[in-house]
Amino acid sequence: MRKRTATQVDAARFAKRAGDDVYAGERLGEWNGQVVRAPADGYVENVLFDPHEHRLIITIVSTEESAVEQEDCASPAFDGEATQSE
């Protein structure tokens, strides 16, 4: 089962685009002083810019059966972790 995970990073330092691969534990950026890492091997499905918070909301789709635990990758979610399974 593939899983979608939404997370956020500061918009100033994110270099991925929709369709780019990510790897479990890969550093994606920072948010509020915390390092944000990819929760699983997968790809960036979508990147949305929030101009009010100067942040990017990133949707990652996993391409592996078991994803890294969210706390292991220190990836702060926006208003709680938004996830969806396919």
Which tens digit of pLDDT belongs to each residue from 25-46?
999 999 999 999 999 999 999 9
The answer to the question of residue 22 being in a domain is: yes
Residue 9 lies in a domain: yes
pTM attached to this predicted model: 0.72
Angle at the Cα of 16 from the Cα atoms of 61 and 42, rounded to 5 degrees:
25
More confident residue, 6 or 2: 6
Q: Is residue 29 part of a domain?
A: yes
Split into its structural domains, the chain has a count of 1
Q: Is residue 76 part of a domain?
A: no
Judge residue 22's burial from the number of C-beta atoms within 10 Å of its C-beta, 0-12 exposed, 13-18 middle, 19 or more buried. buried
Buried b (16+ CB within 10 A) or exposed e, 25-62: ebebbebeeeebbbbbbbbbeebeeeeeeebbbbbbbb
Q: Is residue 82 part of a domain?
A: no
Residue 79 lies in a domain: no
In a domain? residue 77: no
Q: What is the residue range of 36's domain? A: 3-70
